[in-house]
């Protein structure tokens, strides 16, 4: 079977969040399932710079206002189609420039979807490549129009799967753009791409695809409710069994504490003692007192309302009163960044922060912190808690979405059964977070219990094999 994967980000070439991790790792795991995958991504500068020996397999003199080439190439284990359209992608900043979101984002990502649809329609069957997918798997709003183009073009088409990585990013664009996007008048309908009077790229992908998935079973339920559906719950409910949740994995070659080159000291589940070296390095790096006995809580996060940093800020006095330290790595919202800076000034040696995007520090926190706090208000899947499980940083998470599905709370029953892997709190408030921190501090004082929880997490299966099998089954259903 041949599969075309379409996403606007792809690790290790371009990444702003978990979408890139999935788009970079799932195709590789699918090879094991006997699926031939090619991934289509925009030719941003970072992608173009990484190409070696790319072959031009198609040329379009005018794609949304300028010439474009489709390149085929191999980067590591990934087979790529790169859409080289300099008028759309040759600029720094994936989605936004210094003045905010790029004004032509509708066309930048319509172009990605248009070309994906054309490949699905057999655009490459006549050239040297002779390649046509049986299924197209499109990710998030940026690839949302793919299935809509296939639907409104009519004619033979591949099966379509659409994955929602985060319902909060919907790609709403003005209805007037309909003709410029190359969609027919009849597409602007409730049964089409119309969404609350505008054109919804995410809505279009959900409406037009054969199957819709999201990145955890709990999130698949949450988004069917009014509270979690962000205006799309009616449509999502109407999908019935066509909407399912498949929990993400992590790339266990990148995230392997036994071989991780970014860690000062490597370790495994049988002997995690070298974590102490990483912890000391992390404390030093962030200006925290280097004390092995202090429970060190870490955070690795995009800084937005979703991620609940304000809740953690409210719970911070209790965390510190209980003898804890906090190490934060985050980038995003300026107001949240300012709050974090203020906290690290207010509590020198006890709260340390690095503001920005830093893979090395992310690995150091996973390999050195005692616990990883993820207080999200909603979380489709969440990857940081999966990495934390593997690295022995006990996850302390809100009981939502994929956090709920991946962490087993250390309540008395789970402790007695020996299956706990972390701590959960619900509902998502500062006071329930405080209660979880209090429980974590109590467990920290019982080294045997703590180490059992840590070990349970480290020995779990967090890789892509299981999810890849489920995706493969889905593709076969609709191919």
Pseudo-torsion of CA 263, 265, 267, 272, nearest 10°?
A: -110
- 39 vs 216, which CB is nearer to ligand ADP? 216
For residues 389 and 400, the answer to whether their CB atoms sit within 8 Å is no
Surface-to-core class of residue 177, CB atoms within 10 Å of its CB (0-12 exposed, 13-18 middle, 19+ buried): middle
Among 23, 362, 372, 458, binds ligand ADP (CB under 6 A): 362
Q: Least distance from C-beta 361 to ligand ADP, angstroms?
A: 7
Per-residue x/- mask for ligand ADP, residues 308 to 347, rule CB under 6 A?
---------------------xxx----------------
Of the candidates 68, 71, 89, 67, which has an alpha carbon nearest to the alpha carbon of residue 80?
71
Q: What is the token pair recorded at 29?
A: 């795991």
Does residue 17 belong to the site contacting ligand ADP (CB under 6 A)? yes
Q: Per-residue DSSP letters for 68-97?
A: EEEEEEEETTEEEEEEE-HHHH-SSSSSEE
Q: What is the DSSP letter of 12?
A: T
**Closest residue by beta carbon to ligand ADP:** 18
State yes or no: residue 423 binds ligand ADP (CB under 6 A).
Answer: no
18: contact with ligand ADP by CB under 6 A: yes
Phi/psi region, residue 291 (left: phi>0; alpha: psi -120 to 50; beta: rest), is beta
- Piece of 174-182, 290-298, 380-388, 439-447 that binds ligand ADP (CB under 6 A): 380-388
Task: State which residue, 283 or 301, has the beta carbon closest to ligand ADP.
Answer: 301
Distance from C-alpha of 271 to C-alpha of 447, rounded to nearest angstrom: 15
Helix (H, G, I), strand (E, B) or coil at 302: strand
- Write down the residue that tokens 């071989």 correspond to: 259
Alpha helices in 91-232 (DSSP H): 105-120, 145-153, 201-208, 217-222
Nearest to 172 by CA among 232, 244, 252: 232
* Interface stretch with ligand ADP, choices 179-187, 190-198, 203-211, 379-387 (CB under 6 A): 379-387
**ω before 282 within 30° of 0 (cis)?**
no
* CA atoms of 336 and 18, how far apart (whole Å): 20
Residues 383 to 402 in contact with ligand ADP, rule: CB under 6 A: 383-384
Closer to ligand ADP by Cβ: residue 209 or 376: 376
Q: Which of 359, 431, 445, 477 binds ligand ADP (CB under 6 A)?
A: 359
Candidates 44, 59, 57, 58; CA nearest to 92 is 44
**Contact between 300 and ligand ADP (CB under 6 A)?**
yes
Return the range that interacts with ligand ADP (CB under 6 A); candidates 112-120, 378-386, 404-412, 453-461: 378-386
Phi, psi (5° rounding) for residue 412? -60, -40
Least CB distance to ligand ADP at residue 316 (A): 19
Closest approach, Cβ 282 to ligand ADP, in A, equals 14
Name the minimum Å distance from CB 143 to ligand ADP.
Answer: 16
Rounded CA-CA distance 429/377 in Å is 9
Select 124 or 340, whichever has its Cβ closest to ligand ADP.
340
Using the minimum distance from each CB to ligand ADP, give the nearer residue, 110 or 329.
329
Q: How many residues bind ligand ADP (CB under 6 A)?
A: 17
**If binding is defined by CB under 6 A, does position 357 make contact with ligand ADP?**
yes
Mark the segment that binds ligand ADP (CB under 6 A) among 90-98, 280-288, 340-348, 358-366.
358-366
Omega within 30 of 0 (cis) for the link into 417? no
Q: Which of 382, 392, 422, 463 binds ligand ADP (CB under 6 A)?
A: 382
For 375, which DSSP code? -
Q: How far apart are CB 7 and ligand ADP at their closest, in Å?
A: 12
Please report whether residue 301 would count as binding ligand ADP according to CB under 6 A.
yes
The single residue among 358, 419, 439, 449 that binds ligand ADP, judged by CB under 6 A, is 358
- Asked if residue 21 binds ligand ADP (CB under 6 A), the reply is yes
* Nearest C-alpha neighbor of 78 from the set 147, 160, 22: 22
Q: Decide: is 133 part of the binding site for ligand ADP (CB under 6 A).
A: no
Distance of alpha carbon 88 from the chain centroid: 24
- The residues binding ligand ADP (CB under 6 A) are 17-18, 21, 300-302, 329-331, 357-359, 362, 381-384
């Amino acid at each position: 079977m041949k599969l075309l994967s379409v996403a606007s980000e792809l690790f290790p070439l371009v990444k702003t969040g978990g979408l890139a991790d999935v788009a970079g790792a799932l195709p590789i795991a699918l090879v094991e399932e006997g699926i031939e995958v090619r991934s289509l991504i925009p030719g941003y500068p970072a992608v173009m710079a990484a190409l070696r020996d790319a072959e031009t397999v198609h040329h379009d003199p005018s794609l949304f206002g300028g010439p474009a080439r489709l390149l085929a190439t191999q980067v590591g284990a990934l087979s790529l189609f790169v859409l080289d359209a300099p008028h759309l992608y040759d600029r720094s900043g994936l989605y936004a420039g210094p003045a905010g979101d790029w004004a032509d984002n509708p066309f930048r990502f319509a172009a990605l979807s248009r070309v994906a649809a054309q490949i699905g329609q057999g655009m490459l069957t006549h050239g040297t490549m002779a390649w046509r997918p049986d299924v197209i798997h499109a990710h998030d709003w940026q690839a949302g129009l793919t299935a809509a183009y296939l639907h409104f073009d009519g004619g033979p088409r591949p099966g379509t799967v659409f994955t929602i990585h985060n319902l909060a990013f919907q790609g709403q664009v003005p209805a007037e753009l309909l003709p410029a996007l190359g969609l027919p008048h009849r597409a602007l309908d409730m049964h089409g791409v119309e969404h609350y009077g505008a054109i919804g790229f995410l809505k279009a992908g959900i409406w037009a695809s054969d199957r819709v998935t999201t990145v955890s079973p709990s999130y698949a339920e949450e988004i069917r409710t009014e509270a979690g559906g962000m205006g799309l719950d009616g449509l999502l409910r109407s999908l019935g069994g066509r909407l399912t949740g498949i929990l993400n994995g992590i790339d266990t070659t990148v995230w392997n504490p036994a071989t991780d080159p970014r860690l000062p000291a490597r370790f495994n589940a049988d002997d995690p003692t070298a974590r102490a070296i990483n912890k000391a390095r992390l404390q030093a790096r962030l200006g925290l007192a280097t004390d092995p006995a202090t429970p060190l809580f870490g955070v690795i996060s995009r800084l937005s309302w979703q991620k609940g940093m304000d809740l953690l800020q409210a719970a911070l006095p209790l965390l510190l009163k209980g003898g804890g330290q906090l190490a934060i790595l985050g980038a995003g919202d300026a107001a949240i960044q300012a709050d974090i800076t203020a906290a690290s000034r207010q509590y020198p040696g006890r709260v340390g922060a690095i503001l920005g995007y830093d893979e090395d520090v992310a690995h150091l926190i996973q390999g050195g912190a005692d616990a990883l706090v993820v207080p999200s208000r909603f979380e489709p899947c969440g990857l940081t808690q999966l990495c934390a499980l593997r690295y022995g940083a006990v996850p302390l998470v809100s009981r939502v979405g994929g956090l709920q599905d991946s962490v087993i709370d250390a309540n008395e029953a789970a402790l007695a059964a020996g299956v706990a892997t972390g701590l959960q709190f619900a509902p998502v408030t500062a006071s329930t977070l405080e209660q979880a921190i209090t429980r974590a501090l109590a467990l920290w004082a019982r080294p045997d219990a703590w180490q059992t929880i840590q070990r349970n997490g480290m020995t779990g299966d967090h890789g892509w094999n299981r999810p890849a099998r489920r995706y493969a089954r889905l593709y076969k259903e609709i191919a």
